[in-house]
Structure 1
Amino acid sequence: MVHGTCEGEATWYGFAREIFRCAGFTRALEPCTTAAFPRPAPRPANSRLEKRMLRLAGLPPMPHWQAEVGKFISALVH
């Protein structure tokens, strides 16, 4: 089993900010540190997923995550 992800990287704050932007929300978001927002399970400081196995299998890269979030949010709000 291989896990695939879209291209690009984002923080949780960047991901939420893009969702708000795509949905047309104007409410301000404030970034916070992981320490300021404790979760039940510890989170790694860097949780980017490696796509090396997909490249080695000759598969093309997936679209950039921002484009796909935009498509998804557009489908939800229309």
Structure 2
Amino acid sequence: MAKKSMIAREVKRRRLAGLHDKQRLQLKQQMIDGDSSYDERWQAMVDLQKLPRDSSRSRQRNRCAFTGDPGLLSRFGYQDAHSAKL
């Protein structure tokens, strides 16, 4: 069983990622866009860095739906050890 603080931290990360997802995508597109000037791309990079770190999807960890432990079968959302119980 995972600690409750770790589960709460993951919930917070998922919430922040949902809030800032569109803004993060727009800033990344602006950085890649060849039509933007150097200053616009630089400002987009600075604005992206000002977003919370936990709003990035790469900081999320897949956790078991039953116990909250890390590592799971991504297709079902729970650990391999729980497949025998179901």
Q: Same fold (TM over 0.5)?
A: no
Tell me which protein shows more helix as a share of its residues: 2
Higher relative contact order (CA 8 A, sep 6+): 1
The TM-score normalised by the length of structure 1 is 0.25
State which structure, 1 or 2, has the greater radius of gyration over its C-alpha atoms. 2
